[in-house]
Structure 1
Amino acid sequence: MDQVEEVEMMNLPRPRWPAHEIAVIGGSWEDDLAIAGGYLRVAEIGATHWSRHGPDDSLPIPVLYNYRHSVELSLKWLIRTAARIVHRGRYDTGGANLDREKVDKKLREDSHSIKKLAERLNTYLGFIKDLDPPNNRIDDESMKTLRWLDRQDETGETFRYSMIGRGNDSRPARATQTNINFYEDINKVHLLAHLLQAGYSAHLDHFEELQQEYQEYQEEMSG
Protein backbone atom coordinates (compact mmCIF):
# COMPACT_ATOMS: atom_id res chain seq x y z
CA MET A 1 0.00 0.00 0.00
CA ASP A 2 1.51 3.32 -1.05
CA GLN A 3 1.27 6.64 0.81
CA VAL A 4 -1.59 7.94 -1.36
CA GLU A 5 -3.71 4.88 -0.58
CA GLU A 6 -2.99 5.25 3.13
CA VAL A 7 -4.14 8.88 3.05
CA GLU A 8 -7.29 7.91 1.13
CA MET A 9 -8.12 5.32 3.79
CA MET A 10 -7.83 7.99 6.49
CA ASN A 11 -10.20 10.39 4.76
CA LEU A 12 -13.72 10.89 5.99
CA PRO A 13 -16.37 9.33 3.77
CA ARG A 14 -17.27 11.79 1.04
CA PRO A 15 -20.98 12.74 0.71
CA ARG A 16 -22.80 11.15 -2.24
CA TRP A 17 -23.61 14.49 -3.85
CA PRO A 18 -21.21 17.44 -4.33
CA ALA A 19 -23.81 19.87 -3.00
CA HIS A 20 -23.81 17.96 0.29
CA GLU A 21 -20.14 18.81 0.78
CA ILE A 22 -21.11 22.43 1.47
CA ALA A 23 -21.91 23.64 4.99
CA VAL A 24 -23.53 26.98 5.82
CA ILE A 25 -22.27 28.79 8.92
CA GLY A 26 -22.93 32.25 10.32
CA GLY A 27 -25.65 34.71 9.47
CA SER A 28 -28.66 36.03 11.34
CA TRP A 29 -30.02 32.56 12.12
CA GLU A 30 -26.94 31.61 14.15
CA ASP A 31 -27.47 32.25 17.85
CA ASP A 32 -26.66 30.39 21.06
CA LEU A 33 -29.71 28.15 20.74
CA ALA A 34 -28.81 27.11 17.19
CA ILE A 35 -25.25 26.25 18.21
CA ALA A 36 -26.54 24.51 21.35
CA GLY A 37 -28.59 22.28 19.06
CA GLY A 38 -25.44 21.33 17.17
CA TYR A 39 -23.55 20.42 20.33
CA LEU A 40 -26.57 18.41 21.45
CA ARG A 41 -26.65 16.52 18.16
CA VAL A 42 -22.93 15.71 18.35
CA ALA A 43 -23.32 14.58 21.97
CA GLU A 44 -26.29 12.39 21.09
CA ILE A 45 -24.40 10.74 18.22
CA GLY A 46 -21.47 9.98 20.54
CA ALA A 47 -23.68 8.70 23.36
CA THR A 48 -25.69 6.52 20.99
CA HIS A 49 -22.51 5.08 19.50
CA TRP A 50 -21.20 4.31 23.01
CA SER A 51 -24.48 2.62 23.91
CA ARG A 52 -24.90 0.55 20.74
CA HIS A 53 -21.33 -0.49 20.05
CA GLY A 54 -20.14 -1.39 23.51
CA PRO A 55 -18.26 0.57 26.17
CA ASP A 56 -15.52 2.88 24.91
CA ASP A 57 -13.88 4.72 27.79
CA SER A 58 -12.47 7.40 25.50
CA LEU A 59 -15.98 8.73 24.78
CA PRO A 60 -17.67 9.60 28.13
CA ILE A 61 -15.73 12.81 28.85
CA PRO A 62 -16.10 14.30 25.32
CA VAL A 63 -19.77 13.29 25.29
CA LEU A 64 -20.35 14.93 28.68
CA TYR A 65 -18.56 18.06 27.47
CA ASN A 66 -20.78 18.39 24.41
CA TYR A 67 -23.98 17.87 26.42
CA ARG A 68 -22.79 20.32 29.08
CA HIS A 69 -21.91 22.98 26.51
CA SER A 70 -25.30 22.55 24.87
CA VAL A 71 -26.96 23.08 28.25
CA GLU A 72 -24.81 26.14 28.93
CA LEU A 73 -25.63 27.78 25.59
CA SER A 74 -29.35 26.98 25.92
CA LEU A 75 -29.42 28.59 29.36
CA LYS A 76 -27.73 31.71 28.00
CA TRP A 77 -30.24 31.93 25.14
CA LEU A 78 -33.13 31.53 27.58
CA ILE A 79 -31.69 34.20 29.88
CA ARG A 80 -31.33 36.70 27.03
CA THR A 81 -34.86 35.94 25.81
CA ALA A 82 -36.35 36.29 29.29
CA ALA A 83 -34.48 39.57 29.77
CA ARG A 84 -35.91 40.95 26.51
CA ILE A 85 -39.42 39.96 27.60
CA VAL A 86 -38.97 41.62 30.98
CA HIS A 87 -37.49 44.77 29.46
CA ARG A 88 -40.14 45.06 26.74
CA GLY A 89 -42.97 44.35 29.16
CA ARG A 90 -41.64 46.79 31.75
CA TYR A 91 -42.06 44.25 34.52
CA ASP A 92 -40.90 45.14 38.02
CA THR A 93 -37.33 43.89 38.50
CA GLY A 94 -36.74 45.29 41.96
CA GLY A 95 -34.13 47.64 40.58
CA ALA A 96 -32.23 45.09 38.48
CA ASN A 97 -31.09 46.49 35.12
CA LEU A 98 -31.91 44.09 32.30
CA ASP A 99 -30.64 46.19 29.40
CA ARG A 100 -28.85 44.10 26.79
CA GLU A 101 -25.39 45.38 27.74
CA LYS A 102 -25.96 44.68 31.43
CA VAL A 103 -27.28 41.18 30.75
CA ASP A 104 -24.29 40.40 28.52
CA LYS A 105 -21.97 41.58 31.30
CA LYS A 106 -23.73 39.35 33.82
CA LEU A 107 -23.42 36.38 31.49
CA ARG A 108 -19.70 37.01 31.16
CA GLU A 109 -19.46 37.11 34.96
CA ASP A 110 -21.42 33.87 35.30
CA SER A 111 -19.14 32.51 32.58
CA HIS A 112 -19.31 28.69 32.55
CA SER A 113 -21.16 28.17 35.84
CA ILE A 114 -24.27 26.07 35.19
CA LYS A 115 -25.51 26.79 38.72
CA LYS A 116 -25.26 30.58 38.34
CA LEU A 117 -26.86 30.51 34.90
CA ALA A 118 -29.78 28.39 36.14
CA GLU A 119 -30.30 30.69 39.12
CA ARG A 120 -30.22 33.77 36.88
CA LEU A 121 -32.79 32.22 34.53
CA ASN A 122 -35.07 31.47 37.48
CA THR A 123 -34.72 35.07 38.66
CA TYR A 124 -35.58 36.53 35.26
CA LEU A 125 -38.50 34.15 34.75
CA GLY A 126 -39.80 35.22 38.15
CA PHE A 127 -39.97 38.82 36.94
CA ILE A 128 -42.45 37.86 34.20
CA LYS A 129 -45.69 38.11 36.16
CA ASP A 130 -47.76 36.91 33.20
CA LEU A 131 -46.04 33.52 33.38
CA ASP A 132 -48.14 31.40 35.69
CA PRO A 133 -46.64 28.64 37.85
CA PRO A 134 -45.03 26.26 37.10
CA ASN A 135 -43.86 28.03 33.94
CA ASN A 136 -42.22 30.86 35.88
CA ARG A 137 -39.26 28.76 36.99
CA ILE A 138 -37.20 25.72 36.06
CA ASP A 139 -38.94 22.52 37.14
CA ASP A 140 -37.55 20.68 40.17
CA GLU A 141 -36.29 17.61 38.29
CA SER A 142 -34.40 19.75 35.79
CA MET A 143 -32.89 21.83 38.60
CA LYS A 144 -31.74 18.64 40.28
CA THR A 145 -29.94 17.58 37.10
CA LEU A 146 -28.52 21.07 36.57
CA ARG A 147 -27.05 21.04 40.08
CA TRP A 148 -25.61 17.57 39.49
CA LEU A 149 -24.04 18.74 36.22
CA ASP A 150 -22.58 21.79 37.96
CA ARG A 151 -21.03 19.63 40.68
CA GLN A 152 -19.34 17.48 38.05
CA ASP A 153 -17.83 20.51 36.30
CA GLU A 154 -18.15 23.84 38.10
CA THR A 155 -15.91 25.88 35.81
CA GLY A 156 -16.31 24.36 32.36
CA GLU A 157 -12.79 22.90 32.51
CA THR A 158 -13.30 19.44 33.99
CA PHE A 159 -14.83 17.93 30.85
CA ARG A 160 -12.38 19.78 28.57
CA TYR A 161 -9.00 18.84 29.99
CA SER A 162 -7.17 16.15 31.92
CA MET A 163 -5.52 18.86 34.05
CA ILE A 164 -7.36 21.85 35.50
CA GLY A 165 -6.26 24.98 37.31
CA ARG A 166 -3.13 27.01 36.73
CA GLY A 167 0.33 27.17 38.21
CA ASN A 168 0.55 25.76 41.72
CA ASP A 169 -3.20 25.04 41.61
CA SER A 170 -2.82 22.75 38.60
CA ARG A 171 -4.21 19.30 39.35
CA PRO A 172 -5.71 16.27 37.60
CA ALA A 173 -9.35 16.70 36.65
CA ARG A 174 -9.95 13.07 37.62
CA ALA A 175 -7.14 12.01 39.96
CA THR A 176 -8.84 8.75 41.00
CA GLN A 177 -10.07 6.16 38.53
CA THR A 178 -13.79 5.65 39.10
CA ASN A 179 -16.44 3.31 37.74
CA ILE A 180 -19.67 5.16 36.99
CA ASN A 181 -23.01 4.17 35.52
CA PHE A 182 -22.47 6.28 32.46
CA TYR A 183 -25.78 5.40 30.86
CA GLU A 184 -27.84 6.63 33.83
CA ASP A 185 -25.76 9.79 34.21
CA ILE A 186 -25.71 10.74 30.54
CA ASN A 187 -29.37 9.88 29.96
CA LYS A 188 -30.58 12.40 32.54
CA VAL A 189 -28.34 15.09 31.02
CA HIS A 190 -29.59 14.06 27.56
CA LEU A 191 -33.20 14.57 28.63
CA LEU A 192 -32.37 17.91 30.27
CA ALA A 193 -30.54 19.20 27.19
CA HIS A 194 -33.49 18.33 24.96
CA LEU A 195 -35.97 19.94 27.36
CA LEU A 196 -34.01 23.21 27.36
CA GLN A 197 -33.41 23.09 23.60
CA ALA A 198 -36.95 22.32 22.46
CA GLY A 199 -39.22 22.71 25.49
CA TYR A 200 -38.37 25.78 27.53
CA SER A 201 -37.03 27.61 24.49
CA ALA A 202 -40.20 26.98 22.43
CA HIS A 203 -42.43 28.14 25.28
CA LEU A 204 -40.45 31.33 25.91
CA ASP A 205 -40.08 32.07 22.19
CA HIS A 206 -43.85 31.75 21.73
CA PHE A 207 -44.47 34.02 24.72
CA GLU A 208 -42.16 36.67 23.24
CA GLU A 209 -43.92 36.49 19.86
CA LEU A 210 -47.31 37.02 21.52
CA GLN A 211 -45.90 39.91 23.53
CA GLN A 212 -44.56 41.57 20.38
CA GLU A 213 -47.83 41.06 18.49
CA TYR A 214 -49.84 42.51 21.38
CA GLN A 215 -47.62 45.57 21.62
CA GLU A 216 -47.82 46.14 17.86
CA TYR A 217 -51.62 45.89 18.09
CA GLN A 218 -51.70 48.39 20.96
CA GLU A 219 -49.54 50.81 18.96
CA GLU A 220 -51.87 50.52 15.94
CA MET A 221 -54.93 51.14 18.06
CA SER A 222 -53.40 54.14 19.78
CA GLY A 223 -52.13 55.56 16.46
Structure 2
Amino acid sequence: MGETEDLHSLPRPKWAIHEIAIVGGSREDEFVIAAGFLRVAEAGARRWIEHGPDDRLPIPILYNYRHGIELTLKWLIRLTARCAVRGGYTGPENLSPLKLDEKLRTHNIRKLADRLDRYMGLLELEPPNNRIDNASRQLLDWLDSEDETGETYRYSTVGHGEKKAAARPVQTNLNFYELVREVHELATLLHAGYAGFLDNHEQMQIDYYVDMRDLYADIDFAPDVDHYTGL
Protein backbone atom coordinates (compact mmCIF):
# COMPACT_ATOMS: atom_id res chain seq x y z
CA MET A 1 0.00 0.00 0.00
CA GLY A 2 1.39 3.39 -0.96
CA GLU A 3 1.93 6.23 1.46
CA THR A 4 -0.98 8.29 0.05
CA GLU A 5 -3.37 5.34 0.16
CA ASP A 6 -2.34 4.59 3.75
CA LEU A 7 -3.43 8.07 4.85
CA HIS A 8 -7.01 7.21 3.87
CA SER A 9 -7.08 3.83 5.58
CA LEU A 10 -7.47 2.72 9.18
CA PRO A 11 -4.62 1.05 11.05
CA ARG A 12 -4.99 -2.65 11.72
CA PRO A 13 -5.22 -3.65 15.41
CA LYS A 14 -2.05 -5.05 16.91
CA TRP A 15 -3.73 -8.35 17.78
CA ALA A 16 -6.01 -10.30 15.41
CA ILE A 17 -8.53 -10.94 18.18
CA HIS A 18 -9.03 -7.18 18.47
CA GLU A 19 -10.42 -7.12 14.93
CA ILE A 20 -13.61 -8.78 16.19
CA ALA A 21 -16.59 -6.85 17.60
CA ILE A 22 -19.58 -8.41 19.35
CA VAL A 23 -22.96 -6.80 18.66
CA GLY A 24 -26.54 -7.76 19.44
CA GLY A 25 -27.81 -10.41 21.80
CA SER A 26 -29.83 -10.29 25.00
CA ARG A 27 -27.42 -7.94 26.78
CA GLU A 28 -27.80 -5.17 24.21
CA ASP A 29 -30.29 -2.50 25.31
CA GLU A 30 -30.69 1.26 25.24
CA PHE A 31 -28.30 1.69 28.18
CA VAL A 32 -25.51 -0.24 26.45
CA ILE A 33 -25.92 1.60 23.16
CA ALA A 34 -26.14 4.93 25.01
CA ALA A 35 -22.76 4.19 26.57
CA GLY A 36 -21.31 3.74 23.09
CA PHE A 37 -22.69 7.05 21.80
CA LEU A 38 -21.36 8.84 24.87
CA ARG A 39 -17.93 7.25 24.49
CA VAL A 40 -17.75 8.31 20.83
CA ALA A 41 -18.86 11.82 21.84
CA GLU A 42 -16.16 12.02 24.49
CA ALA A 43 -13.50 10.79 22.06
CA GLY A 44 -14.53 13.50 19.60
CA ALA A 45 -14.55 16.16 22.31
CA ARG A 46 -11.10 15.15 23.53
CA ARG A 47 -9.74 15.26 19.99
CA TRP A 48 -11.23 18.73 19.48
CA ILE A 49 -9.62 19.89 22.75
CA GLU A 50 -6.22 18.23 22.34
CA HIS A 51 -5.59 18.83 18.63
CA GLY A 52 -6.95 22.33 18.26
CA PRO A 53 -10.34 23.57 17.06
CA ASP A 54 -11.90 21.73 14.13
CA ASP A 55 -15.21 23.29 13.14
CA ARG A 56 -16.38 20.07 11.50
CA LEU A 57 -16.60 18.32 14.87
CA PRO A 58 -18.88 20.29 17.24
CA ILE A 59 -22.21 19.32 15.63
CA PRO A 60 -21.40 15.57 15.37
CA ILE A 61 -20.07 15.68 18.95
CA LEU A 62 -23.26 17.31 20.22
CA TYR A 63 -25.36 14.82 18.23
CA ASN A 64 -23.63 11.85 19.86
CA TYR A 65 -24.01 13.35 23.33
CA ARG A 66 -27.64 14.22 22.68
CA HIS A 67 -28.53 10.78 21.36
CA GLY A 68 -26.70 9.09 24.23
CA ILE A 69 -28.70 11.23 26.66
CA GLU A 70 -31.96 10.42 24.85
CA LEU A 71 -31.32 6.67 25.07
CA THR A 72 -30.27 6.99 28.72
CA LEU A 73 -33.50 8.82 29.58
CA LYS A 74 -35.54 6.09 27.86
CA TRP A 75 -33.72 3.38 29.79
CA LEU A 76 -34.21 5.25 33.08
CA ILE A 77 -37.92 5.64 32.33
CA ARG A 78 -38.32 1.90 31.75
CA LEU A 79 -36.38 1.14 34.95
CA THR A 80 -38.42 3.62 37.00
CA ALA A 81 -41.69 2.24 35.60
CA ARG A 82 -40.68 -1.29 36.65
CA CYS A 83 -39.89 -0.04 40.14
CA ALA A 84 -43.24 1.76 40.40
CA VAL A 85 -45.19 -1.35 39.36
CA ARG A 86 -43.15 -3.56 41.67
CA GLY A 87 -43.82 -1.11 44.50
CA GLY A 88 -47.57 -1.53 44.04
CA TYR A 89 -48.47 1.43 41.83
CA THR A 90 -52.02 1.10 40.45
CA GLY A 91 -52.72 4.71 39.43
CA PRO A 92 -53.84 6.16 36.10
CA GLU A 93 -50.44 5.86 34.37
CA ASN A 94 -50.31 2.78 32.14
CA LEU A 95 -46.81 1.44 32.86
CA SER A 96 -47.02 -1.80 30.90
CA PRO A 97 -43.99 -2.53 28.69
CA LEU A 98 -46.09 -2.40 25.51
CA LYS A 99 -47.59 0.97 26.44
CA LEU A 100 -44.13 2.29 27.31
CA ASP A 101 -42.89 1.27 23.86
CA GLU A 102 -45.60 3.48 22.40
CA LYS A 103 -44.94 6.40 24.76
CA LEU A 104 -41.20 6.34 24.13
CA ARG A 105 -41.50 6.69 20.34
CA THR A 106 -40.22 10.24 20.57
CA HIS A 107 -36.92 12.08 20.23
CA ASN A 108 -38.13 14.99 22.37
CA ILE A 109 -35.78 15.45 25.33
CA ARG A 110 -38.20 17.66 27.29
CA LYS A 111 -41.02 15.10 27.04
CA LEU A 112 -38.69 12.32 28.15
CA ALA A 113 -37.41 14.38 31.09
CA ASP A 114 -41.00 15.21 32.08
CA ARG A 115 -41.91 11.52 32.04
CA LEU A 116 -38.87 10.50 34.07
CA ASP A 117 -39.65 13.21 36.63
CA ARG A 118 -43.25 12.00 36.84
CA TYR A 119 -42.30 8.34 37.23
CA MET A 120 -39.62 9.06 39.83
CA GLY A 121 -42.34 10.82 41.81
CA LEU A 122 -44.21 7.50 41.98
CA LEU A 123 -41.39 5.82 43.89
CA GLU A 124 -40.76 5.80 47.63
CA LEU A 125 -37.90 8.27 47.41
CA GLU A 126 -37.27 11.20 49.70
CA PRO A 127 -37.12 14.67 48.10
CA PRO A 128 -35.10 15.92 46.31
CA ASN A 129 -34.11 12.42 45.12
CA ASN A 130 -37.56 11.85 43.61
CA ARG A 131 -36.94 14.12 40.63
CA ILE A 132 -34.23 15.36 38.25
CA ASP A 133 -32.06 18.00 39.92
CA ASN A 134 -32.64 21.59 38.80
CA ALA A 135 -29.27 22.14 37.09
CA SER A 136 -29.62 18.98 35.02
CA ARG A 137 -33.20 19.82 34.15
CA GLN A 138 -32.23 23.27 32.91
CA LEU A 139 -29.57 21.78 30.63
CA LEU A 140 -31.99 19.12 29.36
CA ASP A 141 -34.49 21.86 28.54
CA TRP A 142 -31.73 23.74 26.70
CA LEU A 143 -30.91 20.63 24.65
CA ASP A 144 -34.58 20.36 23.77
CA SER A 145 -34.73 24.01 22.70
CA GLU A 146 -31.70 23.49 20.45
CA ASP A 147 -32.86 20.19 18.94
CA GLU A 148 -36.49 19.42 19.68
CA THR A 149 -36.93 16.59 17.18
CA GLY A 150 -33.46 15.04 17.05
CA GLU A 151 -32.83 16.45 13.55
CA THR A 152 -30.93 19.68 14.19
CA TYR A 153 -27.67 17.98 15.13
CA ARG A 154 -28.03 15.36 12.37
CA TYR A 155 -28.60 17.51 9.31
CA SER A 156 -27.77 20.92 7.86
CA THR A 157 -31.47 21.42 7.07
CA VAL A 158 -34.60 20.41 8.99
CA GLY A 159 -38.24 20.04 8.06
CA HIS A 160 -39.81 19.09 4.74
CA GLY A 161 -41.32 20.86 1.76
CA GLU A 162 -42.22 24.49 2.36
CA LYS A 163 -41.16 24.14 6.01
CA LYS A 164 -37.63 23.06 5.10
CA ALA A 165 -35.06 25.45 6.59
CA ALA A 166 -31.40 25.66 7.51
CA ALA A 167 -30.68 24.08 10.87
CA ARG A 168 -28.22 26.87 11.68
CA PRO A 169 -29.07 29.82 9.40
CA VAL A 170 -26.78 32.26 11.21
CA GLN A 171 -23.08 31.63 11.80
CA THR A 172 -22.32 31.71 15.53
CA ASN A 173 -19.11 31.85 17.49
CA LEU A 174 -19.55 30.02 20.78
CA ASN A 175 -17.36 28.81 23.62
CA PHE A 176 -17.65 25.17 22.63
CA TYR A 177 -15.34 23.96 25.38
CA GLU A 178 -17.60 25.30 28.16
CA LEU A 179 -20.69 23.98 26.40
CA VAL A 180 -19.39 20.50 25.72
CA ARG A 181 -17.99 20.27 29.24
CA GLU A 182 -21.45 20.92 30.68
CA VAL A 183 -23.14 18.47 28.31
CA HIS A 184 -20.51 15.82 29.10
CA GLU A 185 -21.08 16.24 32.83
CA LEU A 186 -24.85 15.99 32.32
CA ALA A 187 -24.51 12.81 30.25
CA THR A 188 -22.18 11.28 32.84
CA LEU A 189 -24.51 12.17 35.71
CA LEU A 190 -27.50 10.58 33.97
CA HIS A 191 -25.70 7.47 32.72
CA ALA A 192 -23.65 6.79 35.86
CA GLY A 193 -25.29 8.74 38.71
CA TYR A 194 -29.02 8.47 38.11
CA ALA A 195 -28.70 5.01 36.57
CA GLY A 196 -26.69 3.74 39.54
CA PHE A 197 -29.09 5.28 42.06
CA LEU A 198 -32.24 3.89 40.44
CA ASP A 199 -30.66 0.52 39.67
CA ASN A 200 -29.75 0.24 43.35
CA HIS A 201 -33.35 1.12 44.27
CA GLU A 202 -34.61 -1.69 42.03
CA GLN A 203 -32.14 -4.17 43.51
CA MET A 204 -33.27 -3.29 47.04
CA GLN A 205 -36.88 -3.90 45.96
CA ILE A 206 -35.97 -7.30 44.52
CA ASP A 207 -33.94 -8.23 47.62
CA TYR A 208 -36.92 -7.31 49.81
CA TYR A 209 -39.27 -9.64 47.94
CA VAL A 210 -36.69 -12.44 47.92
CA ASP A 211 -36.39 -12.07 51.69
CA MET A 212 -40.18 -12.20 51.91
CA ARG A 213 -40.20 -15.43 49.91
CA ASP A 214 -37.72 -16.97 52.32
CA LEU A 215 -39.71 -15.71 55.31
CA TYR A 216 -42.94 -17.25 54.03
CA ALA A 217 -41.32 -20.44 52.71
CA ASP A 218 -43.02 -22.66 55.29
CA ILE A 219 -46.40 -20.92 55.20
CA ASP A 220 -49.22 -21.92 52.87
CA PHE A 221 -50.01 -18.30 52.01
CA ALA A 222 -47.05 -16.44 50.53
CA PRO A 223 -46.72 -13.41 48.24
CA ASP A 224 -46.11 -14.05 44.56
CA VAL A 225 -42.46 -13.03 44.75
CA ASP A 226 -41.58 -14.09 41.21
CA HIS A 227 -44.21 -11.69 39.92
CA TYR A 228 -42.58 -8.78 41.72
CA THR A 229 -38.95 -9.64 41.08
CA GLY A 230 -39.10 -10.97 37.55
CA LEU A 231 -36.98 -13.90 38.73
- Please give the TM-score of this superposition, normalised by the length of structure 2: 0.90
Q: Does 1:100 align with 2:97?
A: yes
Which amino acid counterpart does residue 217 of structure 1 have in structure 2?
Answer: D
Distance 1:11 1:125 in 2: 48
Identity %: 54
2:157 maps to 163
| Count of residue pairs the alignment pairs up | 216
1:188 maps to 182
Which amino acid counterpart does residue 44 of structure 2 have in structure 1?
Answer: G
Superposed, which structure 2 residues align to 1:15-164 within 5 Å? 15-93=13-91, 95-108=92-105, 111-128=106-123, 130-164=124-158
Distance 1:24 1:209 in 2: 28
Distance 1:114 1:185 in 2: 17
For residues 195-220 of structure 1, give each alpha carbon's deviation from its aligned partner in whole angstroms, at most 9, with x where no partner exists.
Answer: 01110001111111111111122123
Distance 1:8 1:79 in 2: 46
Distance 1:9 1:191 in 2: 34
- Gapped regions of structure 1 (runs ≥ 5): none
6-15 or 163-172: which moved more?
6-15
Question: Shift in Å at residue 92 of structure 1?
Answer: 4.9
Q: Does 1:202 align with 2:196?
A: yes
Give secondary structure in 2 for the equivalent of 1:207.
Answer: helix
For residues 20-60 of structure 1, give each alpha carbon's deviation from its aligned partner in whole angstroms, at most 9, with x where no partner exists.
Answer: 11111111221111111110110001011111111110000
Distance 1:146 1:77 in 2: 16
1:174 maps to 168
Higher helix share: 1
- Gapped regions of structure 2 (runs ≥ 5): 218-231
For residues 149-176 of structure 1, give each alpha carbon's deviation from its aligned partner in whole angstroms, at most 9, with x where no partner exists.
Answer: 1111011000000010011111110111
Question: Shift in Å at residue 88 of structure 1?
Answer: 1.3
Q: Does 1:11 align with 2:9?
A: yes
Distance 2:88 2:45 in 1: 43
For residues 96-153 of structure 1, give each alpha carbon's deviation from its aligned partner in whole angstroms, at most 9, with x where no partner exists.
Answer: 1111111111111xx100000000000000000x211121100011001101111110
Which amino acid counterpart does residue 113 of structure 1 have in structure 2?
Answer: N
Distance 2:69 2:150 in 1: 11
Displaced runs of 4+ in structure 1, greater than 4 A?
none
Contact 1:92 / 1:127 at 8 angstroms: preserved in 2?
no
Give secondary structure in 1 for the equivalent of 2:121.
Answer: helix
Which amino acid counterpart does residue 135 of structure 2 have in structure 1?
Answer: E
Q: Does 1:211 align with 2:205?
A: yes
